[in-house]
Structure 1
Amino acid sequence: MVKSLAQTPANPDPRSQQGEQRPASPRRDKKSNAATGASAAGVRAIGSQAVAFYFRAPVKAFFRTRVEVGAILYTSYLQILGTLHHPSSQSLKRIYPPPPVHSTFLAGFSAGAIQAVIAAPLDALSVRFKTSEVLSGRYNTMWQYGRSKLHEIGPRGVFAGFGLSFVKDSFGYAAFFATFEYVKAQAYYAFVAKYYGDLRGHLVSPLLTPKLDGAGPVDMIKSHYAIEPTFLMLGGITASICQQIVQHPVNLIQSVHYKSLAYLDKQAKIDQPRSAMLQNYYSAYKKTYEQCLVHVRRAGSWRSWLYRGFLVNTIKQVPSTSAGLVIFELVRRRYGSDSAAVRIEKDGYDILLT
C-alpha cells in the first residue's frame, strides 16, 4: 500500500539534513509559457494541415492553421492554471501535487473562452470564404481579401453566432485539458503505484537499487522509462476524443446556423437600434433550432444526427492534437528545473519518478 507521495531532491544534500533551507523553486515566467504555447500550437497546426491535404480539404483550410491563436490558447492555459494551482506556477519539470481536475477544467474553460474571442475574425472569414472572390482578381493577397471582408461585414458580423463558438471552445478545451492532465499525471501515478505495489518476492528483487543515506540502506525502484511516455501519448489521444465529443455536435449546429449569416450581414449594415439587432440574432437562433429539428426527424434522434461522421472527424483530429499536446508537455519540461524528483514511498523501498 502506498504510504505517501512526496517530492524530494533527486540527489539529497547532507546539508539539508542539518536544517539548511533549500531555495524556493523559481516561478515560471511568461516567456517560457509563451514558448511552450507557440511550440505546441505550431505542431498542432502543421499536423492538422497535413491531415487536411490527405483528406482533400478545401483551400479555406488554410484559415484553420491559426498558429498565433493556438499559441494564445496554450499560453493562457498555463498562466491561468498557475494562478489556480500554485505548484503549476513554479518552474519544475514535474508538478507535484498534480493540479486537481476542477483547476484544469476551469483553466481550460477560461483559455477556450479567450480563444473564442481572439479567433472570431478568423472564424468569420473562414465561414464566408468564397474561392470565386479570391480568384476574381480584385485582391492581390489573402490579407487584402481578409481586411476587405471584415470591413464589409463589420463588428456585428464578426461576432454573429459567437454564442455557439463560445460554448464549443470553452467547454471543448475544458474537457481537453482536464482529460490530458488527469491521464498523464493522476492516472500515471496510480498505475505506477499499483503495478510496482503488486510485485512480490523475486519479481521485485531485480528492480531494487540500494541507496545509502544517513539513515542506512533504502531500496529504490526506478520506474520503467517507457511507462510515462505511454501515458503521455494516451493522454493526448483521450483528450482529443473527449474534445471531439463536445465540439462535434456544436460544429453541426454551427453549420446550420451559418446558413443564416447572409441575412444577418445585410441586417447589420442597416442603421437600426441595438434591440432590433438583438431580435434578429434571436430569430436566427430560433430558425436554427427549427432547421435542426428537421435534420433530427430525418436521422431518427438527436444523438444519431449530432454524432453523424464523428468517427471520421475524430480520426482526422487525433494525430495533430496528440502531437501538439506531447510537444506542449515536452517543451514545458524543457523550461523546467530538474532540482527535484517525485518518489512513492513504500514498505522497505521507494519508487522513484525522475
Structure 2
Amino acid sequence: MKPLSSLRLLASLCAASICFAAALPAAAQFKEIIWVDDDFPPGANSQVNADNHPHSWVTQGDGNQVFFGKKALQRSGMGVAQDYFSTCDKPLLVCEGDKLFTHIYLTPENPTRAVMLQFHSSGWYHRVFWGDGDAVPFGTPRTTQKVDMGPLPAAGKWVRLEIEAAKLGLTPGMEITGMAFTICDGEVFFDKTGLATTGKEPPHGEARDVVWLDDDFPAGSTPQASGAPAQWVTAADGKVHSGQRALKRTGGGPTQDFFTGATNLTELKRGDVLYAHVFIDPTAKPKAVMLQFNDGVWEHRAIWGDPEGIKWGALNTVSRRPLGPLPEAGKWIRLEIPPAKIGLYPGAKLNGMAFTHEGGTVYWDKAGLSNPGPGKK
C-alpha cells in the first residue's frame, strides 16, 4: 500500500471533516420573548411578600443597577422576600427545547443567601434556585418543584440565569401564566426576563370525538359511588341526551358516581376539550356540579355554581377551578373544560372521571373529549 502524500492526506482529512460536520444536526434556533422588562406583563396581578414593601422599579444611579431598558426590579430585605404575579394577559407557551431566563445583579455590600425563580402554570409547581436552598422553604427538594442549579452567581455584575423549561416539568403545550422573583436576605436586582423559544409547538391533535361514558361506564373501569349505587335511567324513567340511558343521582349533600381504571381513555392532545352533558332537575337544583379527572390522583376539578358548594380541592387552583354559574335547569347543557384550566396538558393519560354534585337531582350523559382539529376552534 502506497503512503499518501502530505497534501493528499490533508485533503482527505478535510473532506472527512466536512462530511462529519454535515451529518451533525442543526443547532436549535431560539427567539427571545421578553416577558418582564421595565414592568410586569400587561394584565399581571402583581403582588409582593416582603413586609408589605411595594414593588420597587428603579432607574440607573444612586446604587441602583439597570441591565436593559430603563428600569430594573429591585428587592431587598431580611428573610424571604419576593415580587410575583400568577396571571397576565399574555401567557408564555412552552415549546420543545425552550429555555427560561432572567438577568440578575447581586449587590456585593448586601449579600443574599439564595435566589429562586418560580413559574406558575396552573399552580406554583415549577421552581429553580441558586445558593442556599434551605433558605427558601418552598417546594420539595430534588423535584421539579425545587431544582438546584448550584451556587449563587458572582456578585457585582449582571449575570444571565437560564434553565431548560423541561427540567422544571414545563413540557411543550403548557402555558406559563405567572412568575415569582424570590430572595432570602440581601439585595438583588432583576431585569430582562422571558423565554428563549424554538417555536416548535406540539402537534395539534386531529379532529376527533372520543366518548368515555354513554349508556355505561367505560370498558375496564371500576365504577363506584358515594351513597346509593349508580342509577341508570331510560327516557321513560327520566331524561336521556344520547343513546338509551343516562346516569341519575339524587343527594342531600356531596354525592357522586365515578370510575377509575378505564382502559379506553386516550392520551390528551393539543386542542382537546373535555366535556360532559348535564341535566339539572328544575324542582331539585343542586348548589353546585363538579367534574373530576384522575391521572393517578384526583386533583383536577372543575366546578359550576357555588364554588364553595363542594369543598374538595383548593379554590381557584387546578384542584377546584370555578368555570361559571350553575347550568340552566330543565334542559341538557354541554359542559366543556379546557384541560389546562385544571392542570392537564398534552401527554396526560387519564384513567378516571367523577360526576359530582351538592344536593338536588342531576342527570349525566355522554362524556369524553373532543378536538376540532388543526386550525379550527
TM, length-normalised to structure 1:
0.23
**Structure possessing the higher radius of gyration over alpha carbons:** 2
The structure with the greater share of residues assigned to helix is 1
The structure with the greater share of residues assigned to strand is 2
Which structure carries more relative contact order (alpha carbon 8 Å, separation 6+)? 1
TM, length-normalised to structure 2:
0.22
